[in-house]
Amino acid sequence: MLELRNIFLQVDGESGEKVEILKNLNIDFQKGKVYAVTGPNGGGKTSIAKVIMGIYRQSQGQIYLEGEDISDLSVTERAQKGIGYAFQQPPRFKGITIQDVMSIASPGADLVRIRSFLRDVGLCPEDYLDRDLGTGLSGGEIKRIEMAQLLLRDPLISIFDEPEAGVDLWTIQKLLGLIVSRYKHNPNKTAVVITHNEKIIPICDEILVVDGGTIAAQGPPEKIWHLIKDDIECKVRNQCQGEVTYGVK
Ligand SMILES: Nc1ncnc2c1ncn2[C@@H]1O[C@H](COP(=O)(O)OP(=O)(O)O)[C@@H](O)[C@H]1O
Ligand SMILES: [Mg+2]
């Protein structure tokens, strides 16, 4: 469905030197599957999402969506073709209400649907629809609004970048329920969840461990979980000291 072929990404480092963030990535995201993308901080997970969305332009390689080469398309064109990305750190736009951003995400969506998607991410529509996106909202609220926009848009491939950040224990259960009900066994859609969460990873169909700008390990949870379990649990307990290697180095 979405294929990354020999993708390299170079950016300018602090002293002007070229830094290679992604190195010869090859990934096939298939329809009807939920993917977990995990791995240490700085490994390149967000950069992969941004290259797919067209926010970062790869220095080499091709991206295909349903067989069409989309490597040269803009962010807007890729969005129109069915790629959606919920940012790890969503931008805060001042002077625009939550109802407005939901309507922009899915033009023509009626208020009943908008309300139901806000409820799905644990936000009471009455309290939020008229609020300004720029001020007074917590990081967790902004993340959930971002998630609701992507759920409402429902593109062919939805990429959620650390959706668990800023949600509490109760909403982790809701988030899990949403992923399962919306994407598990949905033959027409692909979900990619960038996550460190010990509850989300095991329910995904395929785990990709990204480290050092490459895929360090890939496979179904039963094959990969034992490699990363200790690091994920250590992260959960907040006891990590030094570098977290995710067992794959
Ligand atoms: N625009 C950029 N300019 C310079 N370095 C970047 C840029 N974007 C990402 N990086 C670097 O690339 C590496 C991978 O980052 P990122 O993709 O955000 O990792 P992850 O999401 O796995 O934590 C990090 O070392 C990060 O500092
Ligand atoms: Mg990231």
The answer as to whether 130 is a domain residue is: yes
The answer as to whether 206 is a domain residue is: yes
Ligand 1, pocket residues at CB < 6 Å: 11, 21, 41-47
Rounded to an integer, what distance in angstroms lies between the CA atom of residue 249 and that of residue 230?
14
The answer as to whether 249 is a domain residue is: no
Query: Where residue 191 sits, what CATH number does that domain have?
Result: 3.40.50.300
The answer as to whether 129 is a domain residue is: yes
Rounded to an integer, what distance in angstroms lies between the CA atom of residue 187 and that of residue 190?
8
8 Å CB contact between 249 and 216: yes
C-alpha distances in Å from residue 106, one per residue of 5, 24, 109, 152: 30, 35, 6, 7
The answer as to whether 244 is a domain residue is: no
Letter for the amino acid at 137? Answer: L
Range of the domain at 102: 2-236
Tokens of 147: 């998630």
Which residue has a Cα nearest atom 13 of ligand 1? 42
Which pTM value belongs to this model? 0.92
108-119: pLDDT as tens digits: 889 999 999 999
Domain count, the chain: 1
Closest by Cα among 188, 172, 182 to 236: 172
CA end-to-end distance (rounded Å), the chain: 30
The answer as to whether 245 is a domain residue is: no
137-194: pLDDT as tens digits: 988 899 999 999 999 999 999 999 999 886 776 678 888 999 999 999 899 999 999 9
Positions of the chain with pLDDT under 70: 166, 169-170, 233-249
Residue 227: the pLDDT is 86
What's the CA-to-centroid distance between 189 and ligand 1, angstroms? 27
Rounded to an integer, what distance in angstroms lies between the CA atom of residue 102 and that of residue 98?
6
Burial label, 165 (beta-carbon count in 10 A; 0-12, 13-18, 19+): middle
Which residue has a Cα nearest atom 24 of ligand 1? 42
The answer as to whether 241 is a domain residue is: no
Residue 128: the pLDDT is 94
Residue 49, Ramachandran bin (φ over 0: left; ψ between -120 and 50: alpha; else beta) = alpha
Rounded to an integer, what distance in angstroms lies between the CA atom of residue 199 and that of residue 33?
17
What's the CA-to-centroid distance between 112 and ligand 2, angstroms? 33
Residue 249: the pLDDT is 45
The answer as to whether 154 is a domain residue is: yes
Tokens of 62: 């091709």
